[in-house]
Amino acid sequence: MRLAVQIQPNAKKTEVVGVLDDALKIKLAAQPIEGKANEALVKWLAGALGVSRSAVTLTHGQTNKKKLLEVAGVTPEDAARLLPPA
């Protein structure tokens, strides 16, 4: 499954905020320095979706707030159920 996200780094806690322009908006409790926010996003998504870290791949947007991820073993319905907005 492909998952489009828009991140907001430096948040108090990591959570899904809602949907913005067909992308899932996620606040991240990580700084956008040296790939820390990207790694935190991948690790958090893997945990929230119940898949291994290697099942989540950042394919586009390494240096952008808008990112595209590939998640193996998860359907869009699973993601909608497991990642509800806060």
pLDDT of residue 18: 94
pLDDT of residue 58: 98
pLDDT of residue 85: 86
pLDDT of residue 84: 87
Cα 35 to Cα 40: distance, rounded to the nearest angstrom: 9
3-state secondary structure 7-33: EECCCCCCEEEEEECCEEEEECCCCCC
Structural domains of the chain in order of their starting residue, each with its CATH number: 2-82 (3.30.1200.10)
pLDDT of residue 86: 75
pLDDT along the chain (86 residues), means of 10: 96 95 95 94 97 98 96 94 88
